[in-house]
Amino acid sequence: GAVVSQHPSRVICKSGTSVKIECRSLDFQATTMFWYRQFPKKSLMLMATSNEGSKATYEQGVEKDKFLINHASLTLSTLTVTSAHPEDSSFYICSARKDRGRDTEAFFGQGTRLTVV
């Protein structure tokens, strides 16, 4: 299957600082990538859809100014958590869709565990 690489896998930061998470599609081009947040023992919650060369589309209730998304190329999207607070601590996962004829499969990164202290 296709490979999506997410970095870092874990990060600890102080309150008030910003953290950048990278998501790369290693063996295919992804015009669209997705950012999810997952709470313990809960399912994935879509935060935003990242579109190459244009602004991201945020889900209702997600603060655009806090979660900055940049999709600078067909293989890279970044999520920056700005002015992080302890309540931003969570597991963040990116995903990229690969179109293969009728099949369109979403492949996920390894996830990033963010802890804000």
Partner 1 sequence: EDQVTQSPEALRLQEGESSSLNCSYTVSGLRGLFWYRQDPGKGPEFLFTLYSAGEEKEKERLKATLTKKESFLHITAPKPEDSATYLCAVPVGTYKYIFGTGTRLKVLA
Query: Quick check: 19 binds partner 1 (CB under 8 A)?
Result: no
Of these, 90, 107, 114, 116, which contacts partner 1 (CB under 8 A)? 107
Looking at this protein, which amino acid is placed at residue 98? K
User: Applying CB under 8 A, which part among 14-22, 61-69, 82-90, 109-117 lies near partner 1?
Assistant: 109-117
The least CB distance from residue 110 to partner 1, in Å, is: 5
If one asks whether residue 106 binds partner 1 (CB under 8 A), the answer comes out as yes
Which residues make Cβ contacts (< 8 Å) with residue 33, sequence separation at least 6?
23, 25, 49, 50, 71, 77, 94, 95, 96, 97
Match 């990242």 to its residue by tokens: 50
Q: Hey, which residues between 62 and 101 contact partner 1 (CB under 8 A)? A: 91, 93, 95, 97
Structure-token pair, residue 68:
């900055």
